[in-house]
Amino acid sequence: MMYRMDFEMINSSINGEMDYSDLKAKLLQNKGKPAIINVTIGTTFKGAVDNLDVILQTLEDCGYTHDQFYIHCDAALNGLIIPFINKMISFKKPIGSVTISGHKFLGCPMPCGIQITRKSYINNLSRRVEYIASVDATISGSRNGLAPIFLWYSLSAKGQIGLQKDAKRCLDNANYLKDRLQQAGISVMLNELSIIVVLERPRDHEFVRRWQLSCVRDMAHVIVMPGIIRETLDSFIIDLLQQRKKWYQDGRISPPCVANDIGAQNCTCSYHKIDFIIP
């Protein structure tokens, strides 16, 4: 929109992941035009991860050569999680750039981030500035000098092993929360490779405010970050179960149906109810 370029919005599947059949259809509709594709490595609300390999294969199937497309990977939150699970993001593949936030998973105290790209692209934008005795590769001609110090400190303090432990703990805790909610008969979904647990929206605004939940339509989500411990998750679950008894005790109001948002297999409304076995 900023560059007034034509763009195509690709449909997504119910879990938030890119619809690859729609991607293929729209690539073929625009055959002859180069494609800039934004691959989301963890969507904002559902934490869905687009499959980079499927996208690359789709481009090949549609006749696109490497010089006819550019792929940017938006890994704002998951960029420090995914690499410890698989090698999905790699510059050995024909991608152009990756962005990772510093204030999310890493926990820097100010909004900041890193863009990693190929040197050839940087060289096209860079210019030597005599005044600063350095090379400037920024769009604005300036950048925050304090943010890199926070990024360096956070990365140095944790190290690769520390980040790996954080990633594993968050993934384990997200699965723990999902399993506990599922066992309690609450509609819930957790995407693979994600630390974002999506559940039915609580009815009480005060409950939402107290636990600082983000809500969209009949959904809420919990992002299980490194600072979240099992005790906090247990307190959330206990509070939610107690409040649900009050909200739905007389039977006049039922939990929302979220089948259209997270899939019928994850919905436990009266219509889609599944009998969960609690061990």
Give the residue numbers marked as catalytic: 194
Burial of 209 (0-12, 13-18, 19+ CB in 10 A): exposed
Strand 35-40 to strand 69-74: parallel, antiparallel, or no bridges (unpaired)? parallel
First to last CA, the chain: 52
The CA distance from 264 to 80, in Å, is: 31
Helix, strand, coil shares of the chain, percent, nearest 5, are 40, 15, 45
CB 45 within 8 A of CB 79: no
Q: Which two tokens stand for residue 83?
A: 């690499």
CB 82 within 8 A of CB 75: yes
Helices 230-248 and 147-183: angle between axes, nearest 10 degrees:
50
Q: Which two tokens stand for residue 138?
A: 């920024």
The CA distance from 218 to 145, in Å, is: 42
- If we measure between CA atoms, which residue out of 12, 21, 10 comes closest to residue 49? 12
Q: Which amino acid is located at 162 in the chain?
A: G
Q: Which amino acid is located at 136 in the chain?
A: D
